[in-house]
Amino acid sequence: MAKIAKYSYLSNLSADALSSVYRSTGADYPKFFKMDALCKAGFLLAEDIVRGCGNTPLAADDTSVVVFTASGTYLTDVTFENTISDPDNCFPSPSVFVYSLPNIVAGEIAIRHGFTNESAVYLSPDFPPSQIADIVSDTLTVASNVLVAWIEVTGNHPSSIMFLVSRNGNDDMLDFNAENLADIYTKCFG
């Protein structure tokens, strides 16, 4: 039975605070500072979980990334729209545009850690534990591990959580199911 091996969360941090958290990790990934808040939150959550695996690294070809979000890249879309809204001063920003695609967060995590298995991003109005359980269970047929996240960034304040779900967990770990996902989410975000 699949297990929740680890989880990490971020709550109510400003975009500046995300950069401070990044600096405290000691990670060397300068591209972090070009990312939008959605990618920064996902990057930090994945960094925490992967580093927490210690001497048992996640197999690059056997780890998938699945992300759920409500607002997706809305904040970045607004920022990009501001660069093209004035016909007399239209200056589209490619560095902003690249982050107007929600799947970029899954790609950034995969690139950082060399994951080559499946990745996907889904939109949902609220944290969807049953949908997460169904999709991740399907994904576990092609991967032994799945990093699955709910990443929500509104007003540049992320409330985000990521779980490492393992097909081959041990008895000390929580069972992977919708009820346990909901319980952990409630514990973290009230």
| pLDDT of amino acid 156 | 53
Per-residue pLDDT, averaged over 53-72, amounts to: 88
Please tell me the predicted confidence (pLDDT) of residue 70.
Answer: 83
**What pLDDT is attached to residue 153?**
77
**What CATH number should be reported for the domain holding residue 17?**
3.40.47.10
CA distance 154 to 169: 34
Lowest mean pLDDT among 15-19, 86-90, 162-166: 86-90
Query: Where is pLDDT greater, at 150 or 100?
Result: 150
Please give the pLDDT value at position 81.
59
For residues 129-152, average pLDDT: 96
Average pLDDT on 43-70 reads: 91
Number of separate domains in the chain:
1
* Sign of the alpha-carbon dihedral angle for 140, 142, 146, 150: negative
Q: In terms of residue numbers, what domain contains 157?
A: 3-189
